[in-house]
Amino acid sequence: MRMTTMWGAALLVLGLAAGPAAADSTPSASPSGDAAAPTSAGTSFRTATEIEQGRTATASASTGDYLYWSFAADALERPTVKATVKLPASHAAQTWQVDVYDGLRRRQACQYGAQTRTAAQGAAEVEVECVLRTVRAWSEPWADDPLPGTYYVRLTTVRLQTADLGRPVDATVRVDSKDVGGSAAVDGWLAEPLVPGVAVASQGDGKDGDDSARTAVLSGIEPDGGWSSGWWSDRWVWTGVGAVLAALAGIGGYVLTRGTGRPGRVPPGA
């Protein structure tokens, strides 16, 4: 009875101590929300505005401008870029297009989506979308596969009337990714992601007084949790499960076919 009372008191003390700690560790909602999202766009690759996946960026510009944003995409992700342009109250028909480039500034083809759309005369807005192919952890040097690193989004008009040139527009851009999983995994990975300045930064590591690594990196964005470089995927889980099932099948087959052991000795003269 005494031991039961002691254990009950100990559990009560632990529960009271863990209660405030659990309450303190609960993350609070960010008061800023989307307020921290970028409200401008760059005008070239070097001045592209960095955006995070899952956050909507906005920008005010003029018709005919080139608008640039950049985001980070890791292996086994399939990014989707959506852009919406709010047009002036009155305008002629105009065509808008969104293009996506990888860290080597190679234009990446859209797997599907309306990459180019024409807004009819007087339309309030136009939406364009580009769904990229799945980002691979490694690829042949001659291939044009998407690789982990920085990606650039360019939004502009490709066809419009001269009278509409320079008129104000408002653009919103959002990037979301789908985790494809081990079905897109490959046996290999890049030494470094294709981020601007990463090669110079790697050469500057370990050198005393060398500030080139700090000034050479042009992009400071990376996926949540860092770059995975494709070393882990659920294919490892399925490989392990397959190995266990194969071992169990082998043991079961042995048990079924081993018999009862040595046959008994036949008595002489039987």
Query: Which of 186 and 28 is assigned the larger pLDDT?
Result: 186
Q: What is the pLDDT of residue 28?
A: 33
Any domain includes 238:
no
Residue 244 lies in a domain: no
Domain count, the chain: 1
In a domain, 57, yes or no: yes
Could you tell me if residue 39 is inside a domain?
A: no
For 44-80, write each residue's pLDDT tens digit: 999 999 999 999 999 999 999 999 999 999 988 999 9
The pTM assigned to this predicted structure is: 0.71
Backbone Cα Rg of the chain:
30
Instruction: Give the range of the structural domain holding residue 89, as residue numbers without chain letter.
Output: 49-204+214-224
Six-digit token pair at 37? 């999202």
pLDDT tens figures, 183-224: 666 766 777 888 887 766 555 555 554 554 444 455 677 777
More confident residue, 165 or 262: 165
- pLDDT given for residue 181 in this prediction: 73
Residue 13 lies in a domain: no
CATH number of the domain that residue 171 is part of: 2.60.120
Which residues does 127 contact at the CB level (< 8 Å), separation at least 6? Answer: 82, 83, 84, 85, 114, 117
- Range in 156-165, 178-187, 210-219, 229-238 the model is least confident about: 210-219
The DSSP result for 152-215, as a single string, is EEEEEEEE--GGGTT-EEEEEEEEEEEE--GGG--S---SS-B-TTHHHHHHHTT-TT--HHHH
Residue 128 lies in a domain: yes
Decide if 149 contacts 70 (C-beta within 8 A): no
* Tens digit of each residue's pLDDT (9 = 90 or more) over 108-125: 999 999 999 999 999 999
For residues 77 and 90, what is the distance between their CA atoms, to the nearest angstrom?
Answer: 40
The predicted pLDDT at position 143 comes to 85
Residue 19 domain-assigned (yes or no) = no
Q: For residue 140, tell me if it sits in a domain.
A: yes
d(CA 73, CA 223): 7
> Looking at residue 231, what is its pLDDT?
57
∠ CA 103-71-119, rounded to 5°: 105
